[in-house]
Amino acid sequence: MTRKETIALLLIINVLGTIYGYYWYGYQLEETPAIFLIFVPDSPTASLFFCFVLVGFLLKKNWPLIEALAIITLVKYGIWAVVMNLLTLFVTGELHWTGYMLMISHLAMAIEGIMYAPYYRFKWIHIVIAAVWTLHNDVIDYLFLMYPHYTIIGNYLPEIGYFTFWLSIACIGIAYYCGIRNPRKQLNQSKN
């Protein structure tokens, strides 16, 4: 898990996933007012944060704010996408194959965010800043209606907005528990 080859492979996978994610948001970004652009592509931005974390690991550096942003947003949007696709399946009775692909890839995002948490070096201040970013993003999504284009969301907007807010709070708690409360580990990048 901490070998250079493993981290490099994860970096390649996440870079490709990030590129695909921004492509997936392309049509929505075209119609998004410029002031909201940075807050619309949620999942690819989360994986972009993790790409920087992995680059840091390869360089034997820690960037605490990016690490805090990565764990909170990876877990949040990883779980969120799984729940939205399951909701779509439950309500409509069907899910396109891309929905299943999104569930697997987003669940992997959440897992990798937590899996590398013992190697993060963020402090309370970094969690606070990442929390403000994350909760502000919820405001942009559900107050200014910049949420990801899932047909199902419009039918359940108040419920999904409420769920998303509490998911954000839970992910902030997970960041604290995994990144601050638990003992820190040294990243060993040997080939053994």
Burial of 60 (0-12, 13-18, 19+ CB in 10 A): exposed
pLDDT at 45: 97
pLDDT at 192: 42
How many helices and strands (H and E) does the chain possess?
A: 8, 0
Residues 160-192: tens digit of each pLDDT: 999 999 999 999 999 999 988 766 777 765 554
For residue 1, pLDDT beyond 70:
no
Tokens for 115? 């899996």
> What's the mean per-residue pLDDT of the chain?
92
pTM above the 0.85 mark?
A: yes
